[in-house]
A and B are shown apart, each in its own frame.
Chain A
């Protein structure tokens, strides 16, 4: 009977599909095939528990670390977008050098996603649980307080300049400044100051780097606008007012200025961290042409990120080896390739280990030195304020066509 044949065909299809999927899983190179071995592998092979090691000396030095990491064979990173500080090169180089397979979860997530991923994956030793983090300033202390981070001081610890936890729970990795990213194929008259953004010629052309109610970059663009419009590190309201002006004049679009809309010309004027803007400029290679402008007439706005290791990392040795790599000259130079100013910049410049051509792509040292960077408390307070008041101050009241 026809339907019997139908039923048999269906079952056959299921069998075939299952077999193919099993084969397909084995062949999938992108995802590390998690070893079925239970979590005790690390301690068994080296006799030293790397998850408790606070520095490379604790467990026998660099060679022991490399051996242990190779034995683990995998690393799970999180929220490392490929052209963010050239993390794709960082991950590829690390993987090639040590033969460790890297899985990057949720490349476009935010810092909160990272902490959530740690907490939700606590018992899980699979590739879903992150080993290392790249988190915004607020999440360092809060992560430490929540017990999500593990302390570790890399061998180059002393040459890291900037904010780092005394116990080694989190440490600054790179800096950037807020800049304008302009699609100069579409926009011929490039805005030079924050006030310029209000000009009528930019009607319907300005985009933010993210929703200020949820995105770190988005919120900081508002914070930077505040500084440029009479506000201060403790008063972010002028930033909201500025955005409100931008919105009601029709200049500001509620569209996130991703590379797609920028290249399309839908948001040819956007605000981004300079390293992201410079990376876009590189990858678009003139199609369209991008100009990165450091807004004048206002304090330069700076920001940084922390590196940290998860307290529940399934691969503690690989995690620590990653940090050693990131803070090595090679790793920090990879940041430079990605237009991020590395935390060990001063030390590396003094030893002349950064190629001259790379340095010129970065903003001048003087700019960074004069950059305004909020304290953790100020940043948290400002973000809170922005999130709570964005809708009432700026939010367009949604009638159609407005």
Chain B
């Protein structure tokens, strides 16, 4: 294999932008963190954190949102991956329509959407709002829709950067059927794309406010808003804790998504 010349310039610029990126992420958070330590007058303490964590409900709600996040990721991938694949292979003309559809969730106000879900599906015969399990189905659907822009774009970019048609032809010429092509050839090549889609999809569900609030499900976002807004320090502590926990989950998803294959974020 030809050894690629890695010039020093590459290294410098990469590190520079990486540091800048990390600064932008962490500096504003430091402001929140600093404030959250001031719940006790005059001293820095973790009092606000103790308050938050002493309530078992916080972790309950995080667990609920975490599980819903995972389910949403799986359902999203199952819906969008085959669709985008088909579109690349057979139906490029559908692209503009699908593009517009994919960003509709950004534009349609969530409050209109959630009440629409309730009016449409809360009625007979479905009664999807009557039991917690059925409402969970409804909210999962809502989450999938709300994270559609991100998931679709991630899968679209991923699929664009590989030669879908050739891979498919090759696999088919070796005897695979459509299903096998999708799961044994396409998906492994899409690891990074699906992973980045999954990351943001999961984070979307964890932080989602409107669906959880109005469908009355124990999601983390509404809990944090509802319990915290008339307090000063606890919301800041809750935010830090929630981000920390979410970040750990995202890290786990990353590890899980990467593990077992040779496909990694390899520097080139």
Contacts and interface: CB of A to CB of B under 8 A. Distances in A.
Please determine if A and B sit in direct contact within the complex, based on CB atoms under 8 angstroms apart.
yes
Interface in B57-85: 57, 60-61, 63-64, 67-68, 70-71, 74
B73 to A, nearest CB: 9
3 tightest A-B CB contacts, nearest first: A263-B232, A126-B129, A287-B41
Interface in A278-319: 279-280, 283-284, 286-288
A21 B217 CA distance: 12
A128 B74 contact: no
Contacts of B41: 286-288
B122 A126 contact: yes
Given A36-B131, A81-B229, A124 B216 contact: no
Interface in B28-82: 35, 38-42, 57, 60-61, 63-64, 67-68, 70-71, 74
Interface in A1-36: 1-7, 10, 13-14, 17-18, 20-22, 24-31, 33-34, 36
A124 B129 contact: yes
Interface of B: 35, 38-42, 57, 60-61, 63-64, 67-68, 70-71, 74, 115, 118-119, 122-124, 127, 129-133, 135-136, 183-184, 187-188, 213-218, 223, 225-227, 229-233, 235-236, 260-261
B48 to A, nearest CB: 11
Contact of B130 (A21, A27, A34, A284): A34
Given A82-B227, A108-B229, A260-B235, A21 B122 contact: no
B216 A2 contact: no
B113 to A, nearest CB: 11
A107 interface: yes
A259 B232 contact: yes
Nearest to B68: A21
B216 A107 contact: no
A117 B71 CA distance: 28
A262 interface: yes
Contact of B217 (A3, A31, A117): A31
The B contact surface, by secondary structure, is helix
Contacts of B60: 24, 27-30
Given A14-B71, A24-B64, A34-B130, A126 B261 contact: no
A388 interface: no
B181 to A, nearest CB: 11
Contacts of A29: 57, 60
Contacts of B229: 81, 107-108, 258-259
A387 interface: no
B214 A13 contact: no
A361 to B, nearest CB: 18
Given A107-B229, A127-B129, 12 more contacts: A14-B70, A24-B64, A24-B67, A36-B130, A81-B230, A106-B213, A107-B226, A124-B119, A126-B135, A127-B216, A128-B122, A259-B230
A121 B120 CA distance: 10
A259 B231 contact: yes
Given A105-B216, A106-B213, A126 B64 contact: no
